[in-house]
Amino acid sequence: MRRLVWHLAISVSLIGVILAVCTRVPRVHSATVALIMVLAIVGLAKMWGWLESLIGALIGGIGFDHYFLPPHGLGISTFEHWLDLIAFLVTAIATSQLVARSKRQRIEAEERKSVMEKLFRLVNALLYSGSTESTAARLADHVLEIFEADGVAIYDKHTGQIVRSGPGAAAISDQALHQAATNGPRLADAHPAFSLAPIGHGGELVGSIGISGARLPESLLSELAGRVGLGLARLYAIETTTEAEVVRRSEELKSAVLDAMAHEIRNPLNSVKLAATTLLSGHAGSESQQREMLTIIDQEANRMDRYIDEAVHLARLEANVLSLQKEAHDIAQLIPAALEELGAATAGRPIQVSVPESLPFAECDQRMVLWVLKQLLNNALKYSPGGSPLTVSAECTGAAIVIDVVDRGRGVAEAERDRIFEKYYRGRAARSRTPGTGLGLSSARSIVRAHGGEIWVTAPPGGGAAFHVSLPIASAGRAVGTT
């Protein structure tokens, strides 16, 4: 209001200065004075607006009549002079209104351009942000930054959550947000401190948004609410996809563990059957040899009992999400533990273990990773010549810990290096020479991927096969000992 009064005072003063100067110029023509004042009034319209130009025109008309239309003073003697005054007022007012309208349209065009740019920036922020940033809080931050508001509050009916961003967001009440999301009509008039609008998507109200410190036109508020509705819909889609992916990975992990157990039970079962067949044949040898075979049967039966217990435990979890019991573990302890569980299978094989002392801990499920290591070591023993060396090493690549199991066997053909991790697939060289089900490596890959790692095979320089397993690095903390 103070600015308007100041503008009006300047407008009246400008017209007064023009009249004062023109009255002191000898033999100045009235038409010249009228033209100068029209130009001044047009300038006021262009600079400030129609109200300032209208006051200038009225003051100019009074002064023009007083000083330049006879008889001097507030009076007009002839019809011709009346026409001169009317022509001046009509010309000044009409021209100033056209200029003011042009200015208003230009400002509106600039505002529309600014609005479109802001909405475009908001859409880009919603579409191209990473999934980690795709939260309602981040959405409120985007609106706050792009529209230069003091505060933004978003109510999401899907989660019942209200998120706020900016110091001015506290002025937007929860009740107003709930009312807008329920009833739908704009409540900006009822709340002069902030703008408020419902958020709709798919033909229904999904929430509401409030903005303080940035009064927005109704059309812009509606467009903004629509864009925020798209953002919330994107969050719903990401949430649904994530839940589906969690279920899929859980089912995949369950299947992998069950396949792994079935594969693991087959080895002790073969040992039990061989020992029992030898004892039943009547050619078992001396009493000590028979006792050794009975010991093998007892040990392998205990192994199978442990695997069956694990399978029963897994079956009981069928209705729930199977989660890994990840803790910080020392790879330097896990590798010897896996070799120890292989027992007699490693007898007579030179195995070199190389793990640096500075290796950080791995974030993993000890039981699962032990199975993966045993699977890789068992494959290396089976598919390489007896007596050939094995190398087991680990290193930190900066982003992960990589465990390498290297043998000196026939290796894996390049065309099969991806396929050997498929379920039931076995390499051509192994199909007729070594018994197997084709489940071991497939299960190992599923378990490693469930940890957020990867497993792959390469050909080492000296021949054979090198299997690599990457595991995430644990956060700072003490390692949990192996059992």
pLDDT interval class at 254 (50, 70, 90): low
> Residue 118 to residues 121, 182, 353: CA-CA distances in angstroms?
5, 27, 60
How far apart, in whole angstroms, are the C-alpha atoms of residue 191 and residue 173?
10
Last residue of a domain, one of 241, 271, 302: 241
Q: Which ranges in 129-173 belong to alpha helices (H)?
A: 136-146
Residue 315 lies in a domain: no
CA angle centred on 101, ends 97 and 102, rounded to 5°: 120
Q: Which residues pair with 208 in a beta bridge?
A: 155, 198
Task: Look at residues 471, 447, 250 and name the one whose alpha carbon lies nearest to residue 368.
Answer: 447
- Residue whose C-alpha is closest to residue 33's, from 58, 6, 69, 3: 69
Same domain, 169 and 68: no
In a shared domain, residues 196 and 165? yes
Which of the four pLDDT bands, split at 50, 70 and 90, describes residue 375?
confident
Confidence label for 373 from pLDDT (cuts 50, 70 and 90)? very high
Cβ-contact 257, 314 below 8 angstroms? yes
Which strand (E) or helix (H) includes residue 152? strand 151-156
Mean pLDDT throughout 284-309? Answer: 77
Closest C-alpha to 373, from 325, 426, 444, 307: 444
The answer to whether position 148 is within a domain reads: yes
407 or 28, which is more confident: 407
- Looking at the structure, tell me whether residues 231 and 328 fall in a common domain: no
In a domain? residue 311: no
Q: Evaluate whether residue 296 is within a structural domain.
A: no
**pLDDT score of 320 more than 60:** no
Residue 367 confidence (pLDDT) above 80: yes
Across 122-126, 199-203, 224-228, least confident range = 122-126
pLDDT tens readout for residues 22-61: 888 887 777 787 788 888 877 777 777 777 777 777 777 7
Element (H, E) at 335: helix 331-342
Of 439, 163, 41, residue with least CA distance to 152: 163
60, two tokens = 């100019």
For residues 182 and 179, give the distance between their C-alpha atoms in angstroms, rounded to a whole number.
Answer: 5
Spatial distance between the Cα atoms of 229 and 236, rounded to a whole number of angstroms? 11
- Does the pLDDT value for residue 374 go beyond 70? yes
Amino acid at 276: A
Both 458 and 353 in a single domain?
yes
User: What are residue 402's DSSP bridge partners?
Assistant: 395, 470
Lowest mean pLDDT segment, chosen from 123-127, 240-244, 376-380: 123-127
Position 146 scores a pLDDT of 76
Q: Identify the sign of the CA torsion 133, 138, 139, 142.
A: negative
Asked if 75 and 151 sit in the same domain, the reply is: no
Residue 332 shares a structural domain with residue 453:
yes
Helix H or strand E encompassing 164: strand 161-165
Strongest mean pLDDT among 5-9, 104-108, 187-191, 391-395: 391-395
How much is the pLDDT for 242?
Answer: 63
Residue 169 dihedral angles phi and psi, to the nearest 5°: -70, -25
Predicted structure pTM score: 0.42
Check which CATH number belongs to the domain holding 336 and give it: 3.30.565.10
pLDDT recorded at residue 276? 85
Query: Could you tell me if 193 and 153 lie in one domain?
Result: yes
Q: Looking at the domain assignment, is residue 259 inside a domain? A: no
Residue 409 in this model has a pLDDT that exceeds 70:
yes
80 or 296, which is more confident: 296
Dihedral (CA of 26, 31, 33, 39) sign: negative
How much is the average pLDDT of 194-218? 78
The whole-number pLDDT of residue 429 equals 52
Quick one: tokens of 386? Answer: 């007896």
Residues 178 and 216 in one domain: yes
What's the Cα-to-Cα distance from 93 to each of 11, 84, 88, 103, rounded to whole Å? 14, 14, 8, 15
C-beta of residue 328 within 8 angstroms of C-beta of residue 474: yes
Domain end call among 112, 136, 154: 112
What range does the domain containing 147 cover? 128-241
> pLDDT of 119-173, one tens digit each?
666 666 655 554 434 467 777 887 887 777 888 888 888 778 888 888 888 888 8
Q: Is 376 in contact with 415 (CB distance < 8 Å)?
A: no
Predicted pLDDT of residue 376? 93
Give mean pLDDT, residues 167-184: 82
425-450: buried (b, 16+ CB within 10 Å) or exposed (e) per residue?
Answer: ebbeebeeeeebebbbbbbbbbbbbb
Looking at residues 314-338, what average pLDDT do you find?
Answer: 74
The tally of domains found in the chain comes to 3
Residues 345, 480: one domain? yes
201, 98: one domain: no
Q: Is residue 264 part of a domain?
A: no
Residue 81 sits in the same domain as residue 148 = no
In a domain, 266, yes or no: no
Are 335 and 479 in a shared domain? yes
- Residues in Cβ contact with 340 at an 8 Å cutoff, skipping those fewer than 6 apart: none
Boundary of a domain, candidates 185, 207, 241: 241
Alpha carbon distance 354, 61 (integer Å): 101
Share of the chain above pLDDT 90, in %: 14
d(CA 234, CA 201): 11
CA distance 136 to 75: 71
- pLDDT (0 to 100) of residue 261: 65
Q: Kindly tell me the burial class for residue 71, based on how many C-beta atoms sit within 10 Å of its own C-beta (0-12, 13-18, 19 or more).
A: exposed
Q: What is the pLDDT of residue 188?
A: 42
Peptide bond into 71 cis (omega under 30): yes
If one compares 230 and 390, the residue with the highest pLDDT of the two is 390
In a domain, 292, yes or no: no
CATH code where residue 153 lies: 3.30.450.40
**Short-list 441, 417, 405, 467, CA closest to 256:** 441
Q: Is residue 257 pLDDT above 70, yes or no?
A: no
**pLDDT confidence of residue 321:** 47
- The C-alpha atoms of residue 13 and residue 18 are separated, in whole angstroms, by 9
Would you state the pLDDT for residue 479? 47
